[in-house]
A and B are shown apart, each in its own frame.
Chain A
Amino acid sequence: MVGYLFLLVAWPVSLVVTKAFADGTTGIRAILEDPDVVHALQLTVVVALCAVVINTVFGVGMSLLLVRQEFPGKRALSALVDLPLSVSPIVVGLALVLVYGGRNGWFGPTLEEHGLRVIFATPGMVLATAFVALPLVIREVVPVLHEIGTDQEVAARSLGANSWQIFWRITLPAIKWAVVYGVVLSLARSLGEFGAVKVVSGNVLGETRTATLVVEEKYLNFDQQGAYATAFLLAMVSVACIVIVSLVRPRGHR
């Protein structure tokens, strides 16, 4: 079983590290000196941060509504928020193009008349990234909200705290680690999104090309060194995310 994990995960991942450093640090340095790659890295970070902020606010709010409130359609809604996990990134991209596409999307032409370009621009990439990472925060926060119960919140309310105070002083500290965990997972997912971004971005060099698209493009152009170096940077970030999560986890829920 350890052999299975070794062959499937550990060995391949370690090979990327060795290939990235095959010529010492020149590969990495060449990447960091290429303005197009640097731009792609910056764009990736900006898009991922926007998506994570949106998803965190939405996710915490949605979790509170789903756990603490009763309303018609609640079951349906809680089933639907899991939906993005089962949708192919390519289908996500296609769906967004059909609605927000500049030429014949449902809303695209109207938005473009008002000067907001969504598809083949940054807003579309943020939407695509937010779509694929949507359920991650909710899936972490909902079980913890169920677990902590409402005793403390009810007590605070009886002592005269308003909803806002209850949220900041009681609920948020209790779900803090679940939120952190969800945010880190979302960040890893957002930085690495590929398929959906490929469809909506148009992949324009120096404009809408993200780091994951650089990896593919470099590999297909036989620049293996560059591909492995960029992949190494991305892999490092995501492995760092997981390690942080595994350090955070024991102190949080579980």
Chain B
Amino acid sequence: MSALAPEADRPATRRRPARSTLTPASGLGLGIAVLWFSLLVLIPLCAVIVTAVDGGWQIFWATITNEQTFAAIRLTVLAAAAVTVVNAVMGTAIAWVLVRDRFWGRGVLEVLIDIPFALPTIVAGLVLLSLYGTDSPLGIDVANQPASVFLAYLFVTLPFVVRMVQPVLEELDTDVEEAASSLGASRLTTFRRVILPSLTPAIAAGSALSFARGVSEYGALVLLSGNLPFKTEVTSVRILGSVENNNLAAAASVATLLLVISLSVIVLLDVLQRRVSRRG
């Protein structure tokens, strides 16, 4: 996760010191690419932040401390955090099995893991509703319960940790592990002291992605959760509500907060991961 270098404000392309290798042609290409990127991504995101700050700090604060909004934010963050923890453990375990074990049907598992990523989110919601909804064949009905938010997040964030850890695990030499166990380390010690440190960056990066995806999810839970205020309403639903009421300033305030939350978790996990891998 290279996200957010501190100086990352806006790429300065017009200045061109000696270090640049741009020819006039590729300079033009870069110019066009950055222009398109700005029009599509940077300017609209700036517009969200500007609109949020425009009304002044007090209005911003009043919007995000509104009781209903606060409940939505709390639910979103708690559910996403819980899902991230589950993913960090289960994702690593799944990646481990896919890399180290050879068994029939491995290809099918690979496809299964990618399904949540490619399945349209609204279809994902419908899919979950058919097994965990009111006429659930399992007798588990989480529809309109806070647990539905957790379930929807769990589904859409499944691939992230797996897909981050898997390539690292493939590269990892088994020699070191064998050396460790021949020196008398138990399997747990080998895992904790030898394997885990080299996996930590990948696990952290995957967790960051899955948290960010979790807090921003909308489509997968809209049918499942019922969007009941104070109970199952999440932040993105709350933002949409403000947009539909044409209260764009309030929507922008909550959206800014959402952006800040997901970016700070990405940065936090990046810092955490560096500290852990340095300790080795």
Q: Could you list which residues of chain A lie within 8 angstroms of chain B, going by C-beta atoms?
A: 1-2, 4-5, 7-13, 15-16, 19, 58, 61-62, 65, 69-100, 106, 127, 130-131, 134, 163, 185, 188-189, 191-195, 198-199, 212, 215-216, 219-220, 227-228, 231, 234-235, 238-239, 241-243, 245-246
Contacts and interface: CB of A to CB of B under 8 A. Distances in A.
A10 B116 CA distance: 10
Interface of B: 2-5, 7-13, 15-17, 19-23, 25-26, 29-30, 33-34, 36-37, 40-45, 47-48, 51, 90, 93-94, 97, 107, 109-123, 126-128, 130-132, 137, 154-155, 158, 209, 212-213, 215-219, 222-223, 235-237, 239-240, 243, 248, 251-252, 255, 258-259, 262-263, 266
For B13, B113, B127, B255, which residue has the most chain A Cβ atoms within 10 angstroms? B127
B122 A212 contact: yes
A98 B44 contact: yes
B259 A192 contact: no
A101 B25 CA distance: 34
Contact of B42 (A69, A80, A82): A80
Contact of B44 (A72, A99, A163, A198): A99
A80 B12 CA distance: 13
Given A62-B37, A82-B3, 14 more contacts: A2-B109, A12-B132, A15-B137, A72-B17, A85-B213, A86-B3, A86-B209, A94-B252, A98-B248, A131-B41, A185-B117, A188-B118, A194-B121, A215-B120
6 contacts: A12-B131, A70-B22, A72-B20, A76-B10, A83-B41, A98-B248
B120 A234 contact: yes
B2 A75 contact: yes
Given A12-B127, A91-B239, A75 B5 contact: yes
A82 B262 CA distance: 13
A82 B93 CA distance: 26
B219 A89 contact: yes
Contacts of B128: 12
B3 A163 contact: no
B94 to A, nearest CB: 6
Contact of A81 (B19, B37, B51): B37
B123 A235 contact: yes
A185 B131 contact: no
Contacts of A234: 119-120, 123
Nearest to B93: A1
A158 B119 CA distance: 47
B130 A12 contact: yes
Nearest to B34: A77
A213 to B, nearest CB: 8
B122 A65 contact: no
Nearest to B45: A95
Contacts of A235: 119-120, 123, 127
B64 to A, nearest CB: 14
